[in-house]
């Protein structure tokens, strides 16, 4: 069983959260919702999903997790203003463990300065932001560049989830 950190704030894309969350849980993995305040309820942008934040980034250490999964929607843009969370993402990026971001999720990776020299995909409106941050952008369902996994949109959520599960099979367990 792997531990996965999933940062969320209000306005996350419901499907881009729910599909990977469900597939990870079905595979026996533990998902920790990371956000602004432990115990706070956050809601998806379509209002179909409400989730309670388990922990704040300042209380967590990247080495406690095997992967980081960033759903899209408006959540990544809100989270990029949280310095503790951005620092957690940056430190996680230095760990060499899988990081997966879908749709607008790469906004958080840009803020953590983790995209320079990498190839990613995203929602098309993030393309120029990624290129300006030094990434190469391609329009594909899933892009895997080393430990970095990215996808474009809600319709890619199943393929995105399969890529995350494959990456978890390759990685050693986190420290508890």
47 in active site: no
17, 68, 19, 59: which is closest to 36 by C-alpha? 59
31 inside domain: yes
Please spell the DSSP secondary structure of 88-113, one letter per residue.
HHHHHHHTT--EEEETTTHHHHHHTT
Model confidence pLDDT, tens digit, residues 23-80 = 999 999 999 999 999 999 999 999 999 999 999 999 999 999 999 999 999 999 999 9
| DSSP H or E run through 100 | strand 99-102
- How many domains does the structure of the chain reveal? 1
Residue 94 lies in a domain: yes
- Among 42, 102, 103, 143, the active-site one is 103
User: What is the rounded CA–CA span in Å between residue 75 and residue 97?
Assistant: 22
Residue 170, both tokens? 């390759």
b vs e for 44-60, b when ≥16 Cβ sit within 10 Å of the residue's Cβ?
bbeeebebebbbbbeeb
Which pTM was predicted?
0.95
Q: Is 71 inside any structural domain? A: yes
Model pLDDT for residues 105-148, shown as the tens digit of each residue: 999 999 999 999 999 999 999 999 999 999 999 999 999 999 99
Residue 113 is assigned to a structural domain of this protein: no
39 sits in the region (left: phi over 0; alpha: psi -120 to 50; else beta) called left
Structural domain boundaries enclosing 27: 3-102+155-170
pLDDT at 176 (0 to 100): 47
Q: Is residue 111 part of a domain?
A: no
């Amino acid at each position: 069983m792997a531990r996965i950190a999933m940062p969320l704030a209000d306005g996350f894309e419901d499907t881009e959260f729910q599909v990977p969350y469900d597939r990870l849980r079905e595979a026996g993995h533990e998902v920790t919702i990371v956000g602004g305040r432990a115990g706070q309820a956050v809601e998806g942008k379509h209002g179909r999903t409400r989730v309670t934040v388990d922990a704040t980034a300042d209380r967590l250490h990247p080495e406690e997790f095997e992967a980081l999964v960033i759903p899209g929607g408006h959540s990544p843009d809100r989270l990029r203003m949280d310095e503790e969370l951005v620092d957690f993402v940056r430190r996680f990026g230095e760990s060499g463990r899988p990081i997966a971001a879908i749709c607008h999720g790469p906004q958080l990776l840009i803020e953590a300065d983790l995209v320079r020299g990498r190839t990613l995909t995203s929602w098309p409106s993030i393309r120029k932001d990624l290129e300006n941050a030094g990434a190469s952008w391609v329009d594909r369902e899933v892009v895997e560049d080393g430990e970095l996994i990215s996808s474009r949109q809600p319709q890619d959520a199943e393929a995105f989830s399969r890529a995350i599960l494959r990456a978890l099979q390759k990685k050693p367990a986190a420290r508890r």
